[in-house]
Amino acid sequence: MNRRISILIIVPLILLIILGCARIGIPFLWTPNPLRGVRIVIDPGHGGVATKQSPTGGTKGPRGLREPDANLAVALQLKKMLKDAGAKVFLTREVDRRMTPIGSTYSQELHARPAFAVLKDADIFISLHHNAPGPGRNPEEINFTSTYVYTEPTPFEMGLAQAIQHNVVASMGSEDGGVHKGDFHVLRENPVQAVLVEFSFLTNSAEENRVRDTHYNYLEARGVYNGLVTYLRTYNIKKVPLKPLALEQDKERAGYFIDHYVPRLYNPVKGEIDQRFLYGMLDEGGTPRRFISFSVPADTPVYSAWDGEVVYVNTVSQPDPLFPYKNCVVIRHDHVLEGTPIYTVYGNMKTVLAWTYEKVTPETVIGLTDSSDTEETNLKFEVRVGGRGAEFAQNPELWILSVHNREAGYIVGRVFNRKKKPMYNTQIQGVVKVFGYDKTPQLYTYPKGVKGSTFWDETFAISDVLPNPEGSSYHLIIGDREIEVKVQACKVTYINLK
Ligand SMILES: [Zn+2]
């Protein structure tokens, strides 16, 4: 064949094959190494000094091989393989030691291991063990490989466990005991994708002899390594997904009727509301807002939120540090929250019509709004619960009825990152339909220093949420998590995301 013709045929043919492979997900020669950069914690099970009060668990071979030593021997070889492949590897222990001091319980010892994975910001957690049969079974007749996932595994954990199980059995030439669900502490209490491998039964004397051999340990480690590569590569997993964490619905707080807790406080503003700056937003100078700002036409009457007594009036241009607004009225409401005083603060009005010690009702006009052409003149509205000081400021939207629609629901909650620190000023995205206007693009968790309510202690709040139709739900993306939320009319959906 003519050289030019052969190039004309071969080059497009190669391109076609490459493109074809990429399309159907077949790993081709230069498939990127799926282990590069993946953060893996290897947990050689048990280890170190055990006492009756502080056991560390683990089994023993008939000739005395300790399980913690066997697990560590495999872990050290696995670490080397994974590191060579570019993974970031962390061992819960690299010597024969416990993770917690003597005196700690077994469950504290177990808990230290997932805690270590969180500390290392791990993507994957693999616990390595050797097995022992239950009572009444002849250990010499039992020897197989099994891999465990938690009783409610993620799809990632399930897929990884199956790949590891298959490859460990192939590498060791062992009997296939299958993948099982188990309520193990290190799997259950683990915010990182986690599996647990029981390579074989150390209680079987032939197996104990094999496990003493470093080449056999190499085969065990290689099985796990191959399982990881197979799973990540075959399923084209470019990034280990974060484990969706348990969404703890606090029964006492979730589904609480707003009306039950927040008495009939009225909308402080009657009239068209064009715009609001939400509680807990950062203003341009980076200062968190502890108020809601209403943009309303000039001379709109402002009503008292509820029965109460005017305790403070300021009509001077130099604001009081406690109530930093000009033309400000503060009302103390006594009949709410079982004796805890609630103060509502109305600032930056054009005209104050209330006087100190005046008794007011929801029908009382306490002032008139200023023009709304600049933000400075918007009506500022605060709710302070338990005391008058600024430190008592809480999200007014959780203390007054929905501004736009009395049928609205609320989403409030506390969110933490994977290191269990509250998430401040984190954008919340997702499909949330809000009455009146689209609030989603500018929705953030509160900045640091902004207080949640006495009751919910929330780190974010989304008010005026349209109740979603029966059978459907909202999806919120907070930080790197996606969660499903159901919202009911006049109810608070409480999220506690740890
Ligand atoms: Zn074990």
100 or 127, which is more confident?
A: 127
DSSP letters, 475-494, are EEEETTEEEEE---TTEEEE
Q: How far is the CA of 445 from the centre of ligand 1 (A)?
A: 42
Q: How far is the CA of 78 from the centre of ligand 1 (A)?
A: 17
C-alpha to C-alpha distance for 470 and 483, rounded to whole angstroms? 17
CATH-assigned architecture of domain 246-258+402-498: Sandwich (2.60)
pLDDT tens digits, 452-462? 876 678 888 88
Q: How far is the CA of 185 from the centre of ligand 1 (A)?
A: 12
Q: 398: which DSSP letter?
A: G
Sheet arrangement for strand 301-303: 301-303, 365-369, 349-352
Which CATH number applies to 33-234: 2.40.50.140, 3.40.50.1370, 3.40.190.150, 3.40.630.40? 3.40.630.40
pLDDT tens digits, 440-454? 556 888 988 888 876
Using alpha carbons only, what angle is made at residue 463 by residues 243 and 435, rounded to the nearest 5 degrees? 110
Q: How far is the CA of 387 from the centre of ligand 1 (A)?
A: 55
463 or 308, which is more confident?
A: 308
pLDDT of residue 22: 45
Q: How far is the CA of 71 from the centre of ligand 1 (A)?
A: 8
- pTM of the predicted model over 0.95: no
If you search the block for the tokens 């409401």, which residue do you land on? 333
Q: How far is the CA of 156 from the centre of ligand 1 (A)?
A: 23
pLDDT of residue 14: 59
Q: How far is the CA of 491 from the centre of ligand 1 (A)?
A: 47
Q: How far is the CA of 31 from the centre of ligand 1 (A)?
A: 36
CATH number of 263-400: 2.70.70.10
Reference 81, options 145, 167, 210; nearest CA is 167
| Residues 262, 400 contacting (CB under 8 angstroms) | yes
Q: How far is the CA of 394 from the centre of ligand 1 (A)?
A: 50
pLDDT of residue 292: 84
Domain residue limits, the chain = 33-234, 246-258+402-498, 263-400
Q: How far is the CA of 219 from the centre of ligand 1 (A)?
A: 19
pLDDT of residue 260: 43
43 or 498, which is more confident?
A: 43
Q: How far is the CA of 200 from the centre of ligand 1 (A)?
A: 11
| Mean pLDDT for the stretch of residues 185-210 | 95
Q: How far is the CA of 72 from the centre of ligand 1 (A)?
A: 11
Using alpha carbons only, what angle is made at residue 75 by residues 56 and 194, rounded to the nearest 5 degrees? 75
Q: How far is the CA of 180 from the centre of ligand 1 (A)?
A: 15
Q: How far is the CA of 67 from the centre of ligand 1 (A)?
A: 7
pLDDT of residue 494: 82
**pLDDT(408) > 60:** yes
Cβ-Cβ contacts under 8 Å for 102 (sequence gap 6 or more) = 49, 51, 54
Percent of the chain surpassing pLDDT 90: 38
Comparing 33-234 with 246-258+402-498, is the CATH topology the same?
Answer: no
